[in-house]
């Protein structure tokens, strides 16, 4: 019996369609039938890991934008950082449409937890509004505030506090 193009017979004799292995490459991928669904799960896991690695590589190029004490307005250096990052961010969203970007708002340790959550939220919103203005789709962006709960520096001086007054951008699968 001639094998249907793009399908394979499993070890149990069942037929499965395999769109990835149809056409001219059918004979080259005969091992698909022997490997079964575990191979496709492994391939999908590798593909997901490769996607995540590429997104992480792109995000590593993204600079945090920093803010003045008790402020959520974008400073000139924050605008410059977001403008420089906007091309990379658009590329991530274009190349990986199943991912969304989350803008995290952070604060230094001074002030109450509630106050810092509000300031962090305002910082995330300010950054999101700017990114939407430069062409990043709003439905691909979300914001969250961590207030003073996730510092990058734990010293108790102005240089350290400045490092904590920031927005940070991460990507998450939207499944």
Segment 13-36, tens digit of pLDDT: 444 444 444 444 444 444 444 555
**Measured distance CA(162)–CA(156) in Å, rounded:** 11
Q: How confident is the model at residue 109 (pLDDT cuts 50, 70, 90)?
A: very high
The domain locations on the chain are 7-35, 51-173
pLDDT above 50 (res 135): yes
**Measured distance CA(20)–CA(26) in Å, rounded:** 9
Q: How confident is the model at residue 159 (pLDDT cuts 50, 70, 90)?
A: very high
- Fold annotation for 51-173: 60s Ribosomal Protein L30; Chain: A; (3.30.1330)
pTM: 0.72
Segment 48-78, tens digit of pLDDT: 788 888 888 888 888 999 999 999 999 999 9
pLDDT of residue 30: 46
pLDDT of residue 40: 52
Alpha helix (H) ranges present in 22-168? 31-35, 37-60, 76-95, 113-133, 158-164
């Amino acid at each position: 019996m001639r094998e249907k193009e793009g399908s394979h017979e499993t070890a149990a004799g069942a037929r499965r369609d395999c769109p990835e292995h149809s056409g001219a490459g059918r004979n080259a991928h005969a091992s698909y039938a022997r490997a079964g669904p575990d191979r496709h799960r492994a391939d999908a896991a590798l593909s997901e890991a490769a996607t995540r690695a590429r997104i992480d590589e792109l995000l590593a190029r993204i600079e945090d934008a920093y803010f003045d004490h008790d402020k959520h307005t974008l400073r000139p250096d924050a605008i410059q950082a977001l403008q420089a990052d906007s091309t990379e961010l658009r590329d991530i969203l274009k190349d990986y449409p199943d991912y969304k970007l989350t803008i995290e708002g952070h604060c230094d340790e001074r002030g109450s937890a509630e106050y810092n959550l509000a300031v962090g939220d305002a910082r995330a919103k300010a950054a999101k509004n700017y990114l939407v203005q430069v062409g990043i789709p709003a439905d691909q962006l979300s914001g969250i505030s961590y207030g003073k709960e996730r510092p990058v520096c734990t010293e108790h001086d102005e240089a350290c506090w400045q490092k904590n007054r920031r927005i940070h951008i991460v990507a998450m699968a939207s499944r």
